[in-house]
A and B are shown apart, each in its own frame.
Chain A
Amino acid sequence: MTLQQPKLDTSPHVSDEIRKTTCYMCACRCGIDVHMKEGKVAYIEGNRDHPVNRGVLCAKGSAGIMQVNAPSRLRAPLKRVGPRGSGKFEEIGWDEALEIATSWLEPLRRDAPEKLAFFTGRDQSQSFTSFWAQNFGTPNYAAHGGFCSVNMAAAGIYTMGGAFWEFGQPDWEHTRLFMLFGVAEDHDSNPIKMGIGRLKARGAKVIGVNPIRSGYNAVADDWVGITPGTDGLFILALVHELLRAGKIDLDYLARYTNAPVLVNGDAGSPEYGLLMRDAAGKALVIDRATGDLAPFDQPGVRPDLHATHTAGGVTHRPVMHLLAERYLDAQYAPEAVAERCGVAPGKIRAIAAELARVAFEEEITLAREWTDFRGETHQSMTGRPVSFHAMRGISAHSNGFQTCRALHMLQILLGSVEVPGGFRFKPPYPKPSGIHPTPHCKVTPGKPLDGPHLGFVHGPDDLALREDGTPARIDKAFTWENPMSAHGLMHMVISNAHAGDPYRIDTLFMYMANMSWNSSMNTRGVMEMLTDKDESGEYVIPRIIYSDAYSSEMVAYADLVLPDTTYLERHDCISLLDRPICEADAAADAIRWPVVEPDRDVRGFQTVLIQLANKLRLPGFTNEDGRPKYTDYADYIVNHERKPGIGPLAGWRQGEAGPAHGRGAPNPAQLEQYIANGGFCVKHIPETCVYMKPWNMGYQAWAVETGLYDSPQPYLFDLYVEPLRRFQLAAEGHGERQPPDHLRAQIRATMDPLPVWYPPFEDSHVDAQEFPVHALTQRPMAMYHSWGTQNAWLRQIHGHNPLYLPTRLMQAHDLREGDWARVTSAHGTITVPVAHMAALNENTVWTWNAIGKRKGAWALSEDAPEATRGFLLNHLIHELLPPRGDGLRWANSDPITGQAAWFDLRVKIEKSAPPPESQPAFPPIDSAVGEAPGDLAWKVGK
C-alpha cells in the first residue's frame, strides 16, 4: 500500500494582527512586525518599510518573544530586606516605592542636588533623562558612552562634525572599497550586514582590520590581523604612503577642510598654534586667486594649501604644511611601523595603493547641481568610492581618541567624506562641535542646573570645574584628567562616590547599567564598594535606586528596585533630539508603544521618572499653576517642546498648513499617526542635498526647515583641532585656568591638534615582558550585553565562552582544546577554559563578552554553564592603572575623553589544572524572581 502525498494547507492563518514597533534587543533600533494571535505575541519579524533594517532582522530581534516572556522579568517594585548584595527583597506597591524614592530625593534637591548621581546606562531616551536630571539640578548625569565609544563619537565630531553609526554610514550604494576597523557588532549591526551584503553582491572589496578574524572580518576579502592598540600607527603609515605618492584630494582639502587655514607660527605668542582669525572670528586662508588673506567662507575665495603668510617677521603656515611635515616623517614609513603593528610593510603599501586606486581611478560623478557655502554652484558631485567604518575596537584604548582622529583624517585626505561612494552623515549630523552645547555644572539648590550636562569643550574655560578648581562632577568628566569627556564617565561614578572624591554623594540612581557585573571594570572591587560600610555602620554609598526590567546582577545591590517593562510593553521615542534612526538620505525617528500590556506590576522607567518629577514638582514637568504637565511618558513624547515647534518626535506635528514633519505645534494624534505608519517617520532629503551636506546650502536650508539647526551652519572639517591646542597652551603655561603640574606633560603629549599615535598607557605601566599578550572581548552577534542569557533560544548559541588562543600560544603553553589556563593581568587572575583559533593575531587572546553570569541572576539555575564555565574578562581590568612609583594613580582611560581603555589590557597565560568551575567564582545571590521552569514549548496559536 502506498500512501498518497498528504493534503497540506499551504495558506495557514499567519496572525490576527500585526503591530509595528521598534526593536530593543540591542542598540540597533530596527523596525519590527509583531504578529499577534489571540492578543499574544506569536512571532516577530523585520519591518520591510523601516529605514534601518528594511525587513531583515538579526537573531536577537527574532528572539524577542523569548525576552518578553523571560522568567527573569521583575514583577513588582522591590525593597531591600537583607544586606546589600544578598538579593533579599520584599515586593512592595508602586505608591510605597515612589514615596520612598521621593523621601530620599526631595531633601537632596532642596539642599544639595549634586548628592544625587543619576546615570542611565544603555538608555535610549537620553534627551528625556538628561532633561529630568537637569531639572532636578544635579550635575551628575550621563549615560554609558564613557565606557562604550566616546572616543569614536568625540573624535568624529571634533574632526568633521559626526562619526560612525548613528552619525553616519558608508554610501553602500556606490562604495567600491569598504574598510572596517575593530567593530562592535551591536552598533548599526543590521545596516552593516546589509551593506556588506550589497558590496558582496556586486563583488566590491572589503578590508577588515581587526586582531580577530570573526564575523565581518571573516568575510573580508583582505584581513589585517593588527596588534591591538596600534591601529592609529597603521593608519598614519597609510597616510604617509598616500602623501608620498601625492594621492590626496587637494581640491577637496582646499575647499572643505581647514588644511588651508593658517596656523599662528609665533612661538612666543599665547596664541601660538591657534588658527588665525579675522576680527569677526572667521578662520583665515590665503586666496590663491589674489594671494591675500581672506576669511575661509568669503564668496569666491580659493583657499591656497601652499602659500604661507608672514607678518612681523613670523611665518604662519597653513595646516597642510604642518600635516605634510608630520606624516612624511620616516617614523610613519611602513617599515618603521610594521613590527609594532604586526602588519607586513608590503601589505601596508598594497592597502594604501588600493585605497588610492579606488579613490582616484574609480572616481564617481553624479550629475546633481548644488551650491556651496561660498556661493559657487557646481554642476555635479564627485565621489571617491572608498568608505570606512570603525567602532569600539579602535575606540576603547587610551590612544583611542587620536586613533579615531587619524582614521577621520585618512578619509578626509582621500576626499571621501560626504561624497558619493564615501562616508555620509545622517541627520541631525553633520553638526560640528561648535554648535553642540558646552557642558554645564552650576548647581543651585532647589533649582535646575544652568544648562545641559554634557557637551563639547573648546578650551579650558569650558571645563566642569568648581571655583576652587576641583571637579564639579562626581565622575570628574570635563576635568584636566580628561577634558573632552563628552559622554561623561559612568565607569568612574561608583569608585569616586566610594572614595568621596571629589565629594560624597547620598543617592546613586541607575537605570539599565549592570555595574556589579559586566558593565564595570574591576567587578569584584565594584561589588565591594557597593557594599562597603563606614565606621558608623552605614553604607559608604548610602542609597541606591536601580531600575531594570530583569533580574540582573545589579538588582541585588539596590535598596529600592523600580521594575521596568520589556520593550514591547512600553512607550519610547527614538528622537532627533537624541540618538535617532536617520539614514544618510533622510531624517527619521521612531517610537515604541505597548503592543502588549504588562502582566506584572511594572512601569516604564520614563513614566516612573515623570511620576517622580510630579511628586518633586520639578520645574520642567510642572505648569505654572503647580499641576503636572505630563501624566506619563507618552504624554511627554507628544506634548513636550524643547523649544517652540521642536519636540521629541518630528513627525506629524501641527504645522501652519496641516500636519508636517519637522517643526510644528504638538499634535494630540501624533502617536496614532506613528503607529499607523509602522512606528516611525521618515522625511527624505532632496536629491541634490544628500551629499556634501556640511557645505551644501540646499541641505543647510532643508536642515533649518526640519528643525535640525536654527540657522545654516556650514563649516570646515577640522584636520587640525584647535580646542586641543588650547589645552596644550594651558599645559605650556598660558591662560588663567591651569592644569595641575603632574598632568602638564600628558596634556602636551596627547592633546595634539594633529592626530598622533602613542603606545597604550598600559604598556608603560606594566611590564610588557611579563604580560606579553593582549586580551580582548567581542560581543557575539547573537547576544547583547547580559540580556541574551535569559533568552531561552539565544543562550543555547552562547551558553559559555572559552578564551581563544592563537596557534602560537596554544603550542607555547602546551594547551589543547578543553584545557584550562590561568590568565593574569597586573590587576587580577582568572582561570578559564581555552580553545584554539588560528585566524587570530599571534599575540592576542579573546573571548565573548558578558556571557559569564553570577549564580542566582537572570533566573538561571545555579549550575547554568554561564555561571560555571562562562567568565568575564572584566576581573582583569581596573579603572586605574597599576602604580608605577610616581606616587600617582593614573586612570586606565583615554587622557582626552576619559573613555575606559579596556582594550589596552595585557596578560600572561599559564596552563592550569581544571578547577571545578571558572575562577573567580562568587557566592550565589538570591534570585529576585525565583527559578525558571525546566522545559519550554512555546506556541500561542492553536
Chain B
Amino acid sequence: MHPAPSVIIFTTLSGLGFGLLFWLGLGLPAVTGWTAFAFFAIAFGLAVGGLVASTFHLGHPERALKAFTQWRSSWLSREAVVSVAALCLMGLYALGAVFFAASWTLPGWLGALGALGVVFTTSMIYAQLRTVPRWHTALTPALFLAISLAGGALLAGQVSFALALLPLAGVLQVLWWLRGDGAFAASGTDMASATGLGDIGAVRAFEPPHTGSNYLLREFVHVVGRKHSLRLRGIALGLGYVLPIILLLVPFSHLLGLLAVISHATGIAASRWLFFAEAEHVVGLYYGKR
C-alpha cells in the first residue's frame, strides 16, 4: 500500500492524542486549571490534528459530514461518529477540569471509553480488509490499542502503566510483524485464484493492461526492500518501545520524559510507515506484483 504521509500522520498522532485523552478521562492524572489546559491542549491538538490530517487525502473534504451517516456498516463512518462523540465528551470533561476544577466522572469515563473506541474503529478500518492479508487480523486492533494506551500513558506521565504497556505493545508489534510476513501466503489468494487459470499451469503476468501507471498501482503496489524493511523495524522497535522503556527506567526528569515521548512517536511513525508500505494488497497479483 502507498504509505501516504497524511494517513501515517493521522494514525500516529490521533492514536497518541486519544491515548492521552483516555488516561485524562480516567483522571490519570487528575489535573485541573492551567495544567489541565496544557494536557488537554496537547491531547486535543494531537487527536484533532490527526483527524484533520486524515482529511487531506479526501477528494471532497467539503462533503466530510456525509461520513457520519453509515455507522451501521462502515468502520470509517463509525470512526467519525465515535471520534466526534469522544471529543465532545472529553471536551465537556475538559471544560470541567479547566474551568471548574471539577472531575465529572461520567463524561470522563465515557470519554475515555470513546477515545479507545476511536482507536479501535480506526484499527478496524484496516483489520476488516481481507484484501490486505497483513492487516486482516485481530492483532491489528490489539496493536493499535496497545500502542495508543502506551503512548497515552507516556504522555500522561503514567510511568507504571507505560512500563507495563510499552513492552506489551512491543510484543504485539513483533507478533504482528511475524504473522504479517506469512499472512499473504496464508490467505489463499494467489495468481492461480486471482486469474482462475491455475489448473493449466504456472501463471505469470505478461503485459500489463497499460504501459503507463494508474491509480491502483500508485495506491496499492509499493515495494519495500527486505533490508530496508528490517532496518526500519529495528528503528521502530528501538525508538518506539525499547528506548522509551529505558528512559522511563532511569530516574525521572521532564527532559527524559519528553525524549521518551519523541522517541516513542518517532518509532510509531516508522512502524506506521511500514504498516502501509509493507502491506500487500491482493490486487497487486493482477499486475504480477505483491
Docked pose: A140 CA to B244 CA in angstroms: 87
The segment from A495-503, A672-680, A792-800, A921-929 that touches chain B is A792-800
Cβ–Cβ contact B210 & A796, under 8 A: yes
| Interface residue total, chain B, C-beta cutoff 8 A | 8
Cβ–Cβ contact A800 & B72, under 8 A: no
A2 within 8 A of B: yes
B196 within 8 A of A: no
**Nearest-CB distance from B120 to chain A (Å)?**
22
**Nearest-CB distance from A219 to chain B (Å)?**
14
Docked pose: A797 CA to B69 CA in angstroms: 39
**Nearest-CB distance from B208 to chain A (Å)?**
10
A837 within 8 A of B: yes
B253 within 8 A of A: no
Docked pose: A838 CA to B206 CA in angstroms: 9
Docked pose: A799 CA to B214 CA in angstroms: 13
Q: Which residue of A lies closest to B72 (CB)?
A: A2
Interface residues of B in 33-84 (CB under 8 A from A): 69, 72
Docked pose: A798 CA to B204 CA in angstroms: 20
B251 within 8 A of A: no
Cβ–Cβ contact A3 & B69, under 8 A: yes
Cβ–Cβ contact B211 & A798, under 8 A: yes
Cβ–Cβ contact B209 & A797, under 8 A: yes
Fill in one digit per residue for B209-229: 1 if any A CB lies within 8 Å of its CB, else 0: 111100000000000000000
Given A2-B72, A3-B69, A799 and B211 touching (CB < 8 A)?
yes
A865 within 8 A of B: yes
Residues of B within 8 A of A1 (CB): 69
Interface residues of A in 153-181 (CB under 8 A from B): none
Q: Which residue of B lies closest to A801 (CB)?
A: B211
Given A2-B72, A3-B69, A837 and B211 touching (CB < 8 A)?
no
**Nearest-CB distance from B84 to chain A (Å)?**
15
Cβ–Cβ contact A800 & B211, under 8 A: yes
Cβ–Cβ contact B206 & A797, under 8 A: no
Cβ–Cβ contact B72 & A865, under 8 A: no
Cβ–Cβ contact A796 & B206, under 8 A: no
Interface residues of A in 776-810 (CB under 8 A from B): 796-800
Cβ–Cβ contact A799 & B212, under 8 A: yes
Cβ–Cβ contact B212 & A796, under 8 A: yes
**Nearest-CB distance from B204 to chain A (Å)?**
8
Given A1-B69, A2-B72, A3-B69, A865 and B206 touching (CB < 8 A)?
no
Docked pose: A838 CA to B209 CA in angstroms: 18
Cβ–Cβ contact B72 & A797, under 8 A: no
Q: Which residue of A lies closest to B71 (CB)?
A: A1
**Nearest-CB distance from A790 to chain B (Å)?**
15
**Nearest-CB distance from B186 to chain A (Å)?**
27
**Nearest-CB distance from A79 to chain B (Å)?**
37
Docked pose: A837 CA to B204 CA in angstroms: 10
Docked pose: A3 CA to B74 CA in angstroms: 13
Which residue of A2, A797, A838 contacts B211 across the interface (Cβ within 8 Å)? A797
Docked pose: A800 CA to B212 CA in angstroms: 9
Residues of B within 8 A of A2 (CB): 69, 72
Docked pose: A797 CA to B209 CA in angstroms: 6
Interface residues of A in 665-702 (CB under 8 A from B): none
**Nearest-CB distance from B89 to chain A (Å)?**
21
Which residue of B69, B72, B211 contacts A796 across the interface (Cβ within 8 Å)? B211
Given A1-B69, A2-B72, A837 and B206 touching (CB < 8 A)?
yes
Q: Which residue of A lies closest to B210 (CB)?
A: A796
Give the secondary structure class of A's interface.
loop
Docked pose: A1 CA to B77 CA in angstroms: 12
Fill in one digit per residue for A725-755: 1 if any B CB lies within 8 Å of its CB, else 0: 0000000000000000000000000000000
Interface residues of A in 305-358 (CB under 8 A from B): none
Docked pose: A1 CA to B66 CA in angstroms: 11
Residues of B within 8 A of A865 (CB): 211-212
Fill in one digit per residue for A820-857: 1 if any B CB lies within 8 Å of its CB, else 0: 00000000000000000110000000000000000000
**Nearest-CB distance from B217 to chain A (Å)?**
12
Residues of A within 8 A of B209 (CB): 797
**Nearest-CB distance from B42 to chain A (Å)?**
34
Docked pose: A2 CA to B69 CA in angstroms: 7
Docked pose: A799 CA to B212 CA in angstroms: 7
Counting chain A CB atoms within 10 Å of each CB, the highest count among B72, B204, B206, B209 belongs to B206
Interface residues of A in 66-89 (CB under 8 A from B): none
Docked pose: A865 CA to B204 CA in angstroms: 25
Fill in one digit per residue for A1-42: 1 if any B CB lies within 8 Å of its CB, else 0: 111000000000000000000000000000000000000000
Interface residues of A in 409-462 (CB under 8 A from B): none
Q: Which residue of B lies closest to A1 (CB)?
A: B69
Q: Which residue of B lies closest to A865 (CB)?
A: B211
Residues of B within 8 A of A838 (CB): 204
**Nearest-CB distance from A50 to chain B (Å)?**
28
Residues of B within 8 A of A3 (CB): 69
Fill in one digit per residue for A621-655: 1 if any B CB lies within 8 Å of its CB, else 0: 00000000000000000000000000000000000
Docked pose: A800 CA to B208 CA in angstroms: 12
Q: Which residue of B lies closest to A2 (CB)?
A: B72
Docked pose: A838 CA to B72 CA in angstroms: 50
Residues of B within 8 A of A799 (CB): 210-212
Q: Which residue of B lies closest to A817 (CB)?
A: B288
Interface residues of B in 188-211 (CB under 8 A from A): 204, 206, 209-211
Docked pose: A885 CA to B110 CA in angstroms: 96
Counting chain A CB atoms within 10 Å of each CB, the highest count among B204, B209, B210 belongs to B210
Residues of A within 8 A of B206 (CB): 837
Docked pose: A538 CA to B69 CA in angstroms: 78
Q: Which residue of A lies closest to B205 (CB)?
A: A817
**Nearest-CB distance from B192 to chain A (Å)?**
17
**Nearest-CB distance from A803 to chain B (Å)?**
13
Residues of A within 8 A of B72 (CB): 2
Docked pose: A838 CA to B203 CA in angstroms: 11
**Nearest-CB distance from B263 to chain A (Å)?**
39
Interface residues of A in 379-403 (CB under 8 A from B): none
Residues of B within 8 A of A798 (CB): 211
Docked pose: A523 CA to B209 CA in angstroms: 30
Fill in one digit per residue for B156-167: 1 if any A CB lies within 8 Å of its CB, else 0: 000000000000
Counting chain A CB atoms within 10 Å of each CB, the highest count among B69, B204, B210, B211 belongs to B211
Docked pose: A823 CA to B209 CA in angstroms: 26
Docked pose: A3 CA to B71 CA in angstroms: 12
Docked pose: A35 CA to B56 CA in angstroms: 39
Residues of A within 8 A of B204 (CB): 838
Residues of B within 8 A of A837 (CB): 206
Residues of B within 8 A of A800 (CB): 211
Interface residues of A in 283-318 (CB under 8 A from B): none
**Nearest-CB distance from A780 to chain B (Å)?**
9
**Nearest-CB distance from A846 to chain B (Å)?**
12
**Nearest-CB distance from B211 to chain A (Å)?**
4
Q: Which residue of A lies closest to B69 (CB)?
A: A1
Fill in one digit per residue for A696-727: 1 if any B CB lies within 8 Å of its CB, else 0: 00000000000000000000000000000000
**Nearest-CB distance from B65 to chain A (Å)?**
12
Docked pose: A838 CA to B201 CA in angstroms: 13
Docked pose: A526 CA to B212 CA in angstroms: 31
Residues of A within 8 A of B212 (CB): 796, 799, 865
**Nearest-CB distance from A22 to chain B (Å)?**
28
Q: Which residue of A lies closest to B214 (CB)?
A: A796
19 contacts between A and B (CB under 8 A): A1-B69, A2-B69, A2-B72, A3-B69, A796-B210, A796-B211, A796-B212, A797-B209, A797-B210, A797-B211, A798-B211, A799-B210, A799-B211, A799-B212, A800-B211, A837-B206, A838-B204, A865-B211, A865-B212
Please list the residues of chain A having a beta carbon within 8 angstroms of any beta carbon in chain B. 1-3, 796-800, 837-838, 865
Please list the residues of chain B having a beta carbon within 8 angstroms of any beta carbon in chain A. 69, 72, 204, 206, 209-212
Known: A3-B69, A796-B210, A799-B212; 9 extra A-B contacts, CB below 8 A, are A2-B69, A796-B211, A797-B209, A797-B211, A800-B211, A837-B206, A838-B204, A865-B211, A865-B212
**A-B residue pairs, 10 tightest by C-beta:** A799-B211, A796-B210, A796-B212, A799-B212, A797-B210, A800-B211, A1-B69, A798-B211, A3-B69, A865-B211
